[in-house]
Amino acid sequence: MYHLLSLMGTELIISGMKPEMTQNSINMKKFSNISIAFYSSVKEVLNIIGK
């Protein structure tokens, strides 16, 4: 999904994950060479992107 969205010029943002799950996802080797933004809530994402 990341690569498909990247080809379309968009950024993948994942929200609603617990901090432990996020850390485990970041530490996995299959995610080590891509940039995905993780946030704890949709409200936090909207504040970050300015909506």
The 3-state secondary structure of 18-45 reads CHHHHHHHHHCHHHCCCCCEEECCHHHH
pLDDT score of 30: 62
pLDDT score of 34: 74
Which helix (H) or strand (E) is 8 found in, with range? Answer: none
* Residues 40, 41, 43: CA angle, nearest 5 degrees: 140
Contact 14, 39 (CB under 8 A): yes
Rounded to two decimals, what is the model's pTM?
A: 0.56
Could you tell me the pLDDT band of residue 49, with boundaries at 50, 70 and 90?
confident
Span 1-45, pLDDT tens digits:
778 888 898 888 888 877 787 777 777 756 666 777 888 889 988
